[in-house]
């Protein structure tokens, strides 16, 4: 499996907002998500992934993506004036593309 470490902050995800979180299709990916400021949400559009992200705590969950594509990451906990702009992406690619092949 693979691991993804994500920090939520007002008003983005690192990684995720400025560059997508890239993971391979068909493998378990364990996410470890925390916040450096206020309560946020971490929701992957089109999936059942949805968790609160609380400062000082780590939300841990494992996902297996069966299809390639891009999934939007949304904050679903009001976190301030630019909450509506807080977004990111998870990009699911083939194993060969993830490994650097064609």
User: Which residue spans within the chain are E strands per DSSP?
Assistant: 2-9, 12-14, 21-24, 28-35, 40-44, 50-53, 59-64, 69-74, 87-93
User: 44-102 pLDDT, tens per residue?
Assistant: 999 999 999 999 999 999 999 999 999 999 999 999 999 999 999 999 999 999 998 76
Q: CA separation (Å) from 83 to 32, 47, 67, 93, 96?
A: 21, 21, 29, 28, 36
Which pTM was predicted? 0.93
- The predicted pLDDT at position 9 comes to 98
- The predicted pLDDT at position 83 comes to 97
């Amino acid at each position: 499996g693979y691991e993804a470490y994500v920090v939520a902050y007002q008003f983005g995800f690192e990684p995720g907002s400025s560059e997508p979180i890239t993971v391979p299709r068909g493998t378990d990916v364990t996410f470890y998500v925390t916040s450096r400021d206020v309560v946020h949400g971490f929701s992957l559009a089109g999936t059942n992934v949805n968790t609160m992200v609380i400062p000082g705590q780590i939300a841990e969950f494992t996902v297996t993506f069966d299809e390639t594509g891009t999934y939007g990451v949304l904050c679903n906990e009001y976190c301030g004036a630019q909450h509506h702009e807080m977004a990111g992406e998870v990009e699911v690619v083939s194993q060969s593309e993830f490994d650097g092949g064609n």
